[in-house]
Structures are given as C-alpha cells and as structure tokens.
Amino acid sequence: MTTMPAQPTTNGAAAPAAPRPGEPLLEVTNLVKHFPVRGGVFNRVVGRVHAVNGVSLTVSRGEILGVVGESGCGKSTLGKLVIRLIEPTSGSIKFAGREITGLGHAEMMPFRRKMQIVFQDPYSSLNPRMTVRAMLREAMLFHGVVEKSAVDDRIDQIIQTVGLRPDAAAKFPHEFSGGQRQRLGIARALALKPEFIVADEPVSALDVSIQAQVLNLMMGLKEEFGLTLLFISHDLKVVEHFCDRVMVMYLGFVVEEIACDRLHNDDNSIGALHPYSQALLGANPIDDPDDRRPLTVLQGDVPSPYDLPRGCPFAGRCPKVMDRCRQEMPPLVERPSPAGGPPHRVACWVV
C-alpha cells in the first residue's frame, strides 16, 4: 500500500462533541485519495498523485464550512469524495452518524438524495437538451421526493425560491445568463430537499454583482431551510464573508482550520496563524486605493502532488521555515480559541 503517512490529527476518531450548536452532520476522518498514474509498456501503475492526504473534518447541521486553497490543493477532490462521487483510497465518511464508505449502489441511494453538489461551471453541468422542468422533474420522480401530481407545483415553487421568473421552467439552459444558470444549478440541488450541499466554486465564474446575488441567495436558503454547506472556493475574501469556519488546504493537507470571524482581528490585522493562510490573506489585493501595501509575495510554485516533500508541504515556500519543517510533517494541533467557539487548529512547527 502507500508509504505516505496520513496527516496526524489530534482530535483522533471523530467524537461528536456535545456542546456545539447543531449536531455533526458530516464527519470525515483521515480521508485519503491517491490517483494512480499509469505508464510504460504494460500500463502499470508507476506512481501516485496524492490529491487528498488524510483530511478530517466535521460539519455541523446548519453550518457553512469553507474550504480554500490554490488550484491543485485537493479541495474539489475533497468535495467529490465526501459525497462519494469518487471513491476514497482510505478513510471514513459518516453522514448523520452512518458510515457511508463501502455502501452499495442501492444502500447509497437515500444518501444521494440528501447530499447534493453545485458545480463551478453551471453550463457544462446542465443537460443542454432538457428544459428546466424536464430536468427537475426527472430527478424528483426518480428519488420520489414528491407525488407525481404535485411535481409541477413543486417545480414552480423551487424556481421562485432561487429567484428565477416562472417562465424559466419551459426554457433550455442556453437561454439563461451565467448567473441564472448558477441559480438553476442550485435549483436542481434543492429539488431533492437535500440536507447537505457541496458547493464547488459556485461563484468563481460569475461577475461581482452576480456573485453577490448568488451568495445572498445561498445565505437565504441556509436560513430558510437550515441547509448545511461545504463551500469550496479559491477566494478567501468570499469565504471569509460567507462561511462560518474555514479549512485552508495546501497540497492535499489541511494546514489550518479556523472560524471565519477570526481570520482578521478587530484592528483588521491578520488573525490566521499558519504562514500559508497569512500569505493567502496578504496576497489578496485590498479594495482601498489609500491602503496600498506590498502584497505578500510567496516565492516559487506549489510542489508536485506526485512526489510529496518529506516534511511540511509548505516548507519550500514558507518565509518562516526552520530545519525541522523540512524533516517532519507538523500535526494539526488545537490552539486556544474563545470559549464555546469552534476549534482553531494549525499544522505548523513555528507558530
């Protein structure tokens, strides 16, 4: 099997922490995904892409957990893993207390309904030959969410919920603008009355004014239906604004897990502790021409997930790197955080 040590965590096997507001809906422990790389004459496995390396996370009911990181950090793979669109190499995924890894097709079906995903590119994720009504109807009847006679009413209701005009039901995907298509993507997810939605870069392809519309829509849906979301994005600004907690990923590892309102301190200085989180926050251009500051510039590029470095994955670009960082992988350690608040974990030897 693999020689890659899974990232150690301090919380051990996911124990449902009682005092948290909302019970845990999704508990993921030590999730690993390695993609085989084939090559040579016999098409043998010649290596592995280490996409996700031992990620543990808990999302409570009604919570929005953000996942941020740069391209290739494994955030989208993680999103697809937790709803089993792809199979993990190892690790455990519990949904509402039930282990869902290893479930067969039929056993998985009720969970498929409860867990939905909204993709980044709304156009390529919609069937161009189906009207909105046909598309929503198919999913609803397949999963038996509503009676056949009530389907049309329910469709009209959903279309209204996501802020589209009633005549949208008869249209095809190409007749909509980018923002409207993303609303359709959300409508399709909502049609099955899910408990949990993975939103994979849902606003990245949209203009800022449309992005704000879609974010507000999702905020409203969360309040109205008590939805639980895993919100994947590369834009820390959006995540900070929108999510309750955030996990910062780098090269398939979680390097920091922090409440979004603690990313910045009261004086607007950076509250995140991991040098990579700090770099991400510092690299974001601030929209104030009076506050021009040199952006935090990291040297170099992300290492290849094909050959993971031995120590901390960030060591090669880290401004605070020490000898130990190159030798040993730092564990994700709990840091002091305000009483009753969500935990703050950092994987770094320096801080």
Partner 1 sequence: MTTGNQPILSVRNLTTCFRTDRGVVTAIDDVNFDLRPGETLGIVGESGCGKTVTSKSIMRLLPERTSFIKPGSRILFRDGDRETNIADADPATMRRIRGAKIAMIFQEPMTSLNPVFTIGWQIDEALKYHTDLDRRARRARAIEMLKLVEIPNPERRFHEYPHQLSGGMRQRVMIAIALCCEPAILIADEPTTALDVTIQAQILQLMENLKRKLGTAIMLITHNLGVVAQVCDRVLVMYAGRVIESAPVRDLFHSPRHPYTKALLESIPKTGKKEHGKRLPTIEGIVPSLFDLPPGCRFRERCAYAQPRCGKEEPALVPCGDAREVRCHFPLQSPASLTVGASA
Site residues (vs partner 1, CB under 8 A): 70-71, 177-180, 207-213, 215-216, 219, 234-238, 240-242, 244, 260-261, 263-266, 268, 279-292, 294-298, 301
CA 316 distance to own-chain centroid: 25
Distance CA 351, CA 337 (A): 14
For 240, the 3-state DSSP assignment is: helix
Shortest distance in whole angstroms from residue 293 CB to partner 1? 8
CB nearer partner 1, residue 154 or residue 234: 234
For 231, the 3-state DSSP assignment is: strand
Residue 317 near residue 85 (C-beta atoms within 8 A)? no
CB nearer partner 1, residue 49 or residue 279: 279
Shortest distance in whole angstroms from residue 221 CB to partner 1? 13
Residue 230 near residue 199 (C-beta atoms within 8 A)? yes
Distance CA 347, CA 258 (A): 12
Shortest distance in whole angstroms from residue 198 CB to partner 1? 20
CB nearer partner 1, residue 3 or residue 268: 268
Shortest distance in whole angstroms from residue 285 CB to partner 1? 3
CB nearer partner 1, residue 212 or residue 351: 212
H-type alpha helices, the chain: 75-82, 105-114, 132-143, 151-161, 178-190, 208-225, 236-242, 275-283, 323-327
**For the stretch 237-268, what's the b/e string if a residue is b when 16 or more beta carbons lie within 10 angstroms of its beta carbon?**
bbbbebbbbbbbbbbbbbbbbbbbebbeeeee
CB nearer partner 1, residue 3 or residue 71: 71
Shortest distance in whole angstroms from residue 159 CB to partner 1? 16
Structure tokens at 344: 């703050």
CB nearer partner 1, residue 145 or residue 215: 215
CB nearer partner 1, residue 295 or residue 322: 295
CB nearer partner 1, residue 192 or residue 230: 230
Residue 135 near residue 127 (C-beta atoms within 8 A)? yes
DSSP string, 147-214: -GGGHHHHHHHHHHHTT--GGGGGS-GGGS-HHHHHHHHHHHHHTT--SEEEEESTTTTS-HHHHHHH
If you search the block for the tokens 């801080």, which residue do you land on?
351
Q: Return the axis-axis angle of helices 132-143 and 178-190, rounded to nearest 10°.
A: 20
Shortest distance in whole angstroms from residue 112 CB to partner 1? 30
Shortest distance in whole angstroms from residue 29 CB to partner 1? 28
Shortest distance in whole angstroms from residue 336 CB to partner 1? 18
Distances, alpha carbon 328 to alpha carbons 95, 228, 277, in Å:
33, 35, 20
